[in-house]
A and B are shown apart, each in its own frame.
Chain A
Amino acid sequence: MKKSIKNVIVNVVTILLALSVLFVGVMLVSGTKGYAVVSNSMYPNLKKGDGVFVHKTEFSQLKEGDIVTVSFKKGGGTYTHRIYEIDYENKTIVTKGDNITETDRETAEEKQIVGKVLFSVPLVGYVSMYITDVRVVAAIGIILLLLMTATAVLRFQKKPRGDKNDE
Chain B
Amino acid sequence: MTNKKKTVKITAVIASVILCVAYFAMMSPTTAYFYKADTSKLDVTFSLFDVSQNVLSVEDDLVFKATTEFYDFDEFLFDEVIITKEATVTNTGEAAARIYTRVVPDNTGLKYIYFAEKVSEEAEEKTAQDSSGEKGPIKTKIENTLNTFNSSFIKGISKADANTVLDNFNKKNDSEYVTVEKGESAKVTVILWADYETYKDTLNAKELTEITAKADIKIIATQDSDGAIPA
Contact = CB atoms under 8 A, between A and B. Distances in A.
Interface string A21-49: 10010011000011111111111011000
Interface of A: 17-18, 20-21, 24, 27-28, 33-43, 45-46, 51-52, 69, 72, 77-81, 97-105, 124-125, 127-129, 131-132, 136-137, 140-141, 144-145, 148-149, 152, 156, 165-167
B211 interface: yes
A104 B25 CA distance: 28
A141 B10 CA distance: 12
A21 B2 CA distance: 25
A39 B65 CA distance: 16
Interface in B181-224: 196, 200, 203-205, 208-211
Nearest to A148: B10
A144 B21 CA distance: 12
A36 B23 CA distance: 11
B16 interface: yes
A129 B29 CA distance: 8
B143 to A, nearest CB: 16
Contact of A37 (B24, B30, B35, B38): B30
A3 to B, nearest CB: 15
Contacts of B21: 127, 131, 137, 140-141
A99 B203 contact: yes
A143 B32 CA distance: 34
A167 B30 contact: no
Contacts of A39: 31-34, 72, 74-75
A52 B30 contact: yes
A36 B31 CA distance: 8
Given A99-B200, A102-B36, A104-B37, A51 B24 contact: yes
B14 interface: yes
Given A37-B31, A124-B24, A137-B21, 8 more contacts: A24-B20, A35-B29, A41-B66, A51-B27, A77-B29, A104-B35, A105-B38, A131-B21
Contact of A27 (B1, B23, B30, B67): B23
A127 B27 contact: yes
B229 interface: no
A53 to B, nearest CB: 9
A35 B30 contact: yes
Nearest to B205: A98
Contacts of A24: 19-20, 23
A105 B17 CA distance: 41
B13 interface: yes
B6 interface: yes
Interface in B52-74: 65-67, 69, 72, 74
B30 A103 contact: no
6 contacts: A34-B27, A37-B30, A51-B27, A80-B30, A103-B208, A148-B10
Interface string B62-97: 000111010010111000000000000000000000
Given A79-B30, A80-B30, A128-B26, A144 B14 contact: yes
